[in-house]
């Protein structure tokens, strides 16, 4: 039985004040957990310590939005997996489409980050998803399969025992135009089938999240799908009541 998981990706948003206000809304509501749903928030790096301190003793778990594939040394501006663990992060988002597109992150680099993150004890949340052009030309499944396969090739299928995959169609991110529950379910089933080709047990156990304009209005229908185990939420995770409502939508 897979546990449900809802992850808030705050992206490059927030100030000390706004983050404290957001947590004042979240912490009391989530202090004893929500219906067996695992809840993770991923603030920008400078606020990791503040968030770690504020969520102490509460069921919210800390994650980060990116990490270096290097362990330490002369990599100005980079953050190592060990540093994230030291700051009490347990999860890290990898391969978000914004980083693939704006920072030219390749499947190979993301796979190296995946391995480095796991070696340090972090749980990677691997983001995959096609652009609108790829969906329109019929290559959505192949694109996502290649993104997952890059990690399978470098890390091996058993590495997916300690990882999460988030399907985020690029055209649905920040657009208010979510994939339909059927479109999302179809891709999730395809991802599970791809993994099952390597190891059926791993495929059955891995949490697969949907991301892209998840809101309190569409979360329940998405989360009801057989292969959707929760969500990776951007915009709506910056609003405490919307985020709590999304967490409560898990059936």
Cβ proximity to ligand 13P, 121 vs 174, nearer residue: 174
Binding string, residues 193-212; x marks residues near ligand 13P by CB under 6 A: ------------------xx
Q: Is 168 a catalytic residue?
A: yes
H-assigned helices in 78-199: 81-86, 97-102, 107-119, 132-136, 140-155, 181-196
Binding string, residues 79-108; x marks residues near ligand 13P by CB under 6 A: -----------------x------------
Q: How many CB atoms lie within 10 A of CB 35?
A: 9
Cβ proximity to ligand 13P, 7 vs 202, nearer residue: 7
Q: Which of 168, 208, 227, 246 binds ligand 13P (CB under 6 A)?
A: 168
Binding string, residues 212-231; x marks residues near ligand 13P by CB under 6 A: xxx-----------------
CA dist 186 to 179, 210, 224, Å?
Answer: 11, 11, 13
Report residue 196 CA to chain centroid gap: 21
Q: Is 188 a catalytic residue?
A: no
Does the protein bind ligand 13P through residue 174 (CB under 6 A)?
yes
- Active-site residue among 98, 105, 130, 168? 168
State the nearest-atom distance from the C-beta of 127 to ligand 13P, in Å. 7
Under DSSP, the state recorded for 31 is T
Per DSSP, the three-state class of 208 is strand
Cβ proximity to ligand 13P, 97 vs 202, nearer residue: 97
State the nearest-atom distance from the C-beta of 95 to ligand 13P, in Å. 11
Cβ proximity to ligand 13P, 79 vs 233, nearer residue: 233
Cβ proximity to ligand 13P, 155 vs 170, nearer residue: 170
- Active-site residue among 53, 96, 130, 245? 96
Cβ atoms 213, 176 nearer than 8 A: yes
Q: Which of 9, 54, 118, 134 binds ligand 13P (CB under 6 A)?
A: 9
Does the protein bind ligand 13P through residue 124 (CB under 6 A)?
no
Kindly give, in sequence order, each residue whose CB lies less than 8 Å from that of residue 31, ignoring residues fewer than 6 positions away.
57, 58, 59
Q: How many CB atoms lie within 10 A of CB 115?
A: 17
Burial class of 251 by CB neighbour count within 10 A (0 to 12, 13 to 18, 19+): exposed
Distance CA 35, CA 54 (A): 22
Binding string, residues 40-79; x marks residues near ligand 13P by CB under 6 A: ----------------------------------------
Kindly give, in sequence order, each residue whose CB lies less than 8 Å from that of residue 171, ignoring residues fewer than 6 positions away.
131, 132, 135, 177, 212
Q: How many CB atoms lie within 10 A of CB 108?
A: 13
- How many residues lie near ligand 13P (CB under 6 A)? 14
Which positions are catalytic? 96, 168
Binding residues for ligand 13P (CB under 6 A): 9, 96, 168, 173-174, 211-214, 232-236
């Amino acid at each position: 039985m897979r546990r449900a998981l809802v992850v808030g990706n705050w992206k490059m948003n927030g100030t000390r004040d706004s983050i404290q206000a957001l947590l004042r809304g979240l912490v009391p509501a989530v202090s004893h957990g929500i219906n067996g749903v695992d809840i993770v928030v991923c603030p920008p790096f400078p606020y990791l310590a503040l968030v770690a301190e504020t969520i102490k003793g509460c069921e919210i778990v800390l994650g980060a939005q990116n990490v270096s594939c290097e362990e330490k040394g002369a990599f100005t501006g980079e953050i190592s997996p060990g540093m994230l663990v030291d700051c009490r992060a347990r999860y890290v988002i990898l391969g978000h489409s914004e980083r693939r597109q704006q920072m030219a992150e390749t499947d190979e680099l993301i796979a190296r980050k995946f391995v480095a993150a796991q070696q340090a004890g972090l749980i990677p949340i691997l983001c995959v998803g096609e652009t609108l052009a790829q969906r329109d030309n019929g290559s959505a499944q192949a694109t996502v399969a290649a993104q997952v396969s890059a990690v399978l090739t470098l890390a091996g299928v058993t590495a997916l025992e300690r990882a999460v995959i988030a399907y985020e169609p690029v055209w649905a991110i920040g657009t208010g135009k979510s994939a339909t529950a059927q479109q999302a379910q179809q891709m999730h089933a395809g991802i599970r089938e791809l993994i099952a080709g390597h190891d059926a047990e791993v495929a059955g156990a891995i949490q697969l999240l949907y991301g892209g304009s998840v809101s309190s209005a569409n979360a329940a229908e998405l989360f009801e799908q057989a292969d959707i185990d929760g969500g990776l939420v951007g915009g709506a995770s910056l609003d405490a009541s919307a985020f709590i409502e999304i967490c409560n939508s898990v059936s």
